[in-house]
Amino acid sequence: MARKTEAKRVILEYIRKSEKAVSPAEIHHSHKELCDRVTVYRVLDRLVNEHKIHRIVNTDGVANYAACHSCSTMHQHDHLHFSCERCKSVTCLENDRVEFSVPNNYEVKEVFFTLSGLCPDCLNKS
């Protein structure tokens, strides 16, 4: 049975309050006293398994995590993600869905749709 721990509570709260998806390194840097770096990874794994957050692999290969909004029994994330090439931020575009055809003979379990370029912040500054 899953236990309530401070690390889990604080990390989930942090992810839920964040505008952007966050990386394990970001979480650890902003909560140095909370727990070890390894614990961050383990807490994130648990939260993903409990459908509280989802994992987005950035275009540079680094994992980022964002809150789930309607994934009670299974993950359902067919929305777009935006990866900024300048500030490296990852944003869920929850309202932008994507249409595609499932290829023959493949069993699709998850989908990852990511656009990259410049986010609104970086676009303003340029």
Q: Which residues bind DNA (CB under 7 A)?
A: 1-8, 23-25, 34-39, 41-43, 45-46, 61-63
Contact 120, 51 (CB under 8 A): no
Which 58-117 positions form the footprint of a copy of itself (CB under 8 A)?
Answer: 58-63, 80, 82-83, 85, 93, 96-103, 105-117
Contact 64, 23 (CB under 8 A): yes
For Zn ion, the closer CB: 53 or 84 = 84
Rg (C-alpha) for the chain, rounded Å, is: 16
Q: Could you give the angle at which helices 6-17 and 37-49 cross, rounded to 10 degrees?
A: 70
Q: How far is the CB of 74 from a copy of itself (least distance, A)?
A: 12
Examine residue 48 and tell whether it contacts a copy of itself (CB under 8 A).
no
Tokens representing residue 40 in the block: 């961050």
Contact 80, 51 (CB under 8 A): no
Residue of 53, 68, 92, 119 interacting with Mn ion (CB under 5 A): 92
Handedness of CA 118, 119, 121, 124 (dihedral sign): positive
Examine residue 84 and tell whether it contacts Mn ion (CB under 5 A).
no
Which 56-115 positions form the footprint of Zn ion (CB under 5 A)?
Answer: 84, 86-87
Binding residues for a copy of itself, rule: CB under 8 A, are 57-63, 80, 82-83, 85, 93, 96-103, 105-120, 123
